[in-house]
Structure 1
């Protein structure tokens, strides 16, 4: 199995998408609530269906380069088996979701057709 490349801080802004399903929704909600409590970051809606290119249910967190190191380290420690997709925000959606894509946990196949 291919090891996902770990996140690196090379962009001004990022999204982290916390992936979950019906069996891990309570765990993901608790993680999102903990993010909201512990960080001054924008935590998005809790989508209980696939949205955009994401193959799983998800919740998006928006953060900036200055938050990257502390937030990513905290996420890795706190994710407890959840998969988290992290990507840079450069204005090029295809590159953001491919070249600038990083994973905490199992890499998933994204639906990139909307960006082609």
Structure 2
């Protein structure tokens, strides 16, 4: 796990990973992130998308919300891996050097950034 430099002006994404067997639970978390935390939640992908090699959905938040969102995700992830990264103009760095993992890291397809 890498300690991230946080700023209240920085935007973050959390990618919650799941598979067919855990899809129903992930759908519950997808809804709860919006309802309980009021966060923007992205599409529910039942296929790998972008650099993500597993099914996933994205949660958007800012630096002021970082601690509360990651603490909530840690409580509800139920063994799922979650990738948290800042959103900058350097997507390769965002998905490598600047990541924060909750749970086991997942291999990413970084070739899309080259």
Measure the CA separation in 2 of the matches of 1:7 and 1:42. 24
- Unpaired segments of 5 or more residues in structure 1? none
Pair 21,7 (structure 1): closer, same or farther in 2 beyond 3 Å: farther
**C-alpha distance in 2 between matches for 1:47 and 1:6:** 26
In 1, Cα distance between equivalents of 2:58 and 2:3? 16
* CA deviation profile, 1:36-68 (whole Å, cap 9, x unmatched): 111121101100000000010000111100111
Q: CA offsets, 1:85-108, max 9 Å, x none?
A: 111111101000001111111101
Relative to the length of structure 2, the TM-score reads 0.93
Bigger fraction of residues in helix: 2
Once superposed, what is the RMSD of the aligned Cα atoms?
A: 1.2
Q: SS of the residue aligned with 2:13?
A: strand
Of 4, 7, 10, the match for 1:8: 4
Alignment size in residue pairs: 112
Tell me the TM-score normalised to structure 1 length.
0.91
1:42 paired to 2:50: no
- Counterpart mapping for 1:1-116 below 5 A: 5=1, 8=4, 10-11=6-7, 12-116=10-114
Q: Extract unaligned runs of 5+ from structure 2.
A: none
